[in-house]
Structure 1
């Protein structure tokens, strides 16, 4: 069936470009010109898809976003469904069911649309990374290090494994982020696993890196930038308080390859991925947003998906989406951000 609700006009309030190019005085109001911080501004948000259906499938539970080759959006539900959305209106155009090799549902969390149109999708169940055709057929499955498998096969915890997935420019390196630490590692130290491929060859296991989250937060999503750095989302939830969502710029250069390191506890010799806070989304203007449960800012919800949709004059256009968990007190909400990232310094030697 068609979308049951009329798609609402994007909640606007376009940010002035100047708010991204000048830090301003330290005591400046970060909400001026829709600024969340000196480097991030909020263009608007949309609740248009909240609690709607398309072709008999609930539209929501979104865990990841990606740009498809035709310029449309791919939106992954963690309930084994992949939606195609109009990039301008967000209107659903298609939905493809997903399953594992036995026809069982996935806990589908991470999404990449490869250059040939195939879909790389993670599931937290094992965890796994599978390649699917555009119509949902499994093509193959990537290897996963034994330590990252869910116990008792490995040292990971159920529902705390591969959440983020991103393909670096050039298409040779794929990266998946664990949401939380595995057993034996210090709490807050999460592993980022990569795979590489050569022309015409399948992905094979490659370097692994370690990233430290803020206390109590996990990593729901990562996005590779053209210069090889990463945008990293960190997220947490406190009952009665609400969500914490922070956006970081992370640089894996010079980080230690932890693939052969058994436990990341008491290892001062391990160099972690460096990170720089871009914004805590609690500081964004609410723009009239409402929350169905306590939140430190009514704009916030359970943000899980992120994609870079373009760039303009050195500023990235970044789209976020929240996972409503098909829950009456949560909202499927899209957030339109503009992000300025500093030019990376050139490494000596």
Structure 2
């Protein structure tokens, strides 16, 4: 998907951690030390164990490995990585080596602009696409099982008020498995420029999902929301990201709490009106403040560690109770961008 350009400007557990090294080389060894060195701190709440570029510009059985927009932990402990070109990869949880790929299609046999991924408790894949936008349920072998309803206002204009290529980016299932949440990347026409909408669905007795509450989330100036991930206590890890030509990426990680936010589904235009409480957020880290760990960048970046970070999943907890969080960047199949995996530990 495209980056928002500023013209002047991450609770399923995973026992086997992904292999990450500062030199960007995958090895068959555990990912990072039990206690990251103090010098690996990005902020008081976030540390980075390492990163790997092992999959950058590689192929698997003729399919390009990259364009990653979402991550999830599968029921067997493997890692699922979703490309925005409609490919869903299964990766080895230690080496990141691809072990399978399924090509996803819509009801007409067309590719998706696949951006969000949840693996449900029965193994089905919930996949968000920002084409319409849409959320569909797929079997593990890629068959469409169902399509969730979407409010008309969230559809791409002229059907709705959303901007093409700026709709459903993040997708997560809240603890308990009853509520699904999708995050819009950018605001709707008629809404304030710093407010995006988070849409939820509630699981019915028959196992389907029906439309439920909607919330406002306030973004930083010039940024959008590429990913959202539920924490075990029902809060959200939210990535905000932007790009400035000649300067590079801005990527910030927030902890957000939707529990006391106003349900905005009945509000046509969000303009910061009194009485409407957006989701409350707290900055955990600006990824530019992480140590670079020897990373190199193919284009200007505030920190060479940075790239177009777009996917995030919680893979478990460490012995100190910190969340183990895996990020991935979308290289857009672009020579000056990199497919890079980042292993963070986050205290929430």
1:214 to 216, 220, 226: 220
Shift in Å at residue 201 of structure 1? 3.0
Counterpart selection for 1:117 from 98, 123, 126: 123
Q: Deviations over 1:57-104 (max 9, x none)?
A: 000000000000000000000001000001111000000001110001
Q: 2 CA distance for matches of 1:334 and 1:159?
A: 24
The reply to whether residue 98 of structure 1 matches residue 116 of structure 2 is no
Does 1:327 find its partner at 2:345?
no
The answer (yes or no) to whether the contact 2:39–2:291 under 8 Å persists in 1 is: no
2:26 to 2, 8, 30: 8
Is this contact kept in 2: 1:11–1:46, CA < 8 A?
A: no
Counterpart among 233, 237, 249 of residue 231 in structure 1: 237
Q: What is the CA distance between 1:198 and its match in structure 2?
A: 3.1
1:44–1:15: structure 2 CA closer, same or farther, 3 Å change rule? farther
Matches within 5 A, 1:1-349: 8-9=26-27, 14=33, 16=35, 32-312=38-318, 313-341=320-348
Shift of 1:14: 3.7
For 2:174 and 2:204, locate their aligned partners in 1 and report how far apart those are by CA, in whole Å: 14
Q: What per-residue deviation string (whole Å, max 9, x for no partner) do you get for residues 125-181 of structure 1?
A: 100000000011100100000000000000000000000000011110000000000
Conserved? CA contact 2:32–2:49, under 8 Å: yes
Question: How far 1:308 moved relative to its partner?
Answer: 0.1
Q: Per-residue displacement from partner, 1:101-120 (whole Å, max 9, x unpaired)?
A: 00011100000000000000
Q: Distance in 1 between matches of 2:274 and 2:328?
A: 36
The 8 Å contact of residues 26 and 96 in structure 2, kept in 1 or not, is answered as no
| Structure with the greater alpha carbon radius of gyration | 1
* Uncovered stretches (5+) of structure 2, i.e. residues with no partner: 1-23
Work out the CA distance in 2 between the residues paired with 1:105 and 1:159.
14
- 2:110 & 2:198 partners in 1: Cα distance? 27
DSSP-derived class of the 1:304 partner: strand
Residue number in structure 2 paired with 1:29: none
Distance 1:80 1:153 in 2: 23
Shift of residue 226, structure 1, vs aligned partner:
1.3
Q: Can you give the 5+ residue segments of structure 1 that lack an aligned partner in the other structure?
A: 1-5, 20-31, 342-349
What is the number of equivalent residue pairs in this alignment? 323
Superposed CA offset, 1:226-254 (max 9, x none): 11100000000000000000000000011
CA shift in 2, pair 1:289/1:245, >3 Å: same
Cα pair 2:69 2:115 within 8 Å, conserved: yes
Please report the TM-score for the alignment, with normalisation by the length of structure 2. 0.90
Structure-2 separation of matches of 1:303 and 1:14: 23
Show the counterpart of 2:7: none
Instruction: State the secondary structure of the residue aligned to 1:282.
Output: helix
State whether residues 153 and 160 of structure 2, in contact with CA within 8 Å, keep that contact through their aligned partners in structure 1.
yes
Structure 1 runs of 4+ off > 4 angstroms?
10-13
If asked which structure has higher relative contact order (CA below 8 Å, sep 6+), I would say 2
TM-score using structure 1 length: 0.90
CA distance in 2, matches of 1:87, 1:13: 14
Q: Distance in 2 between matches of 1:308 and 1:65?
A: 9
Shift, 1:199, TM fit: 3.6
Contact 1:8 1:46 (C-alpha < 8 Å) held by counterparts: yes
How big is each residue's C-alpha offset from its partner over 1:197-228, in whole Å with a ceiling of 9 and x where there is no partner? 13433100000000001000000000011111
Aligned counterpart, 1:24: none
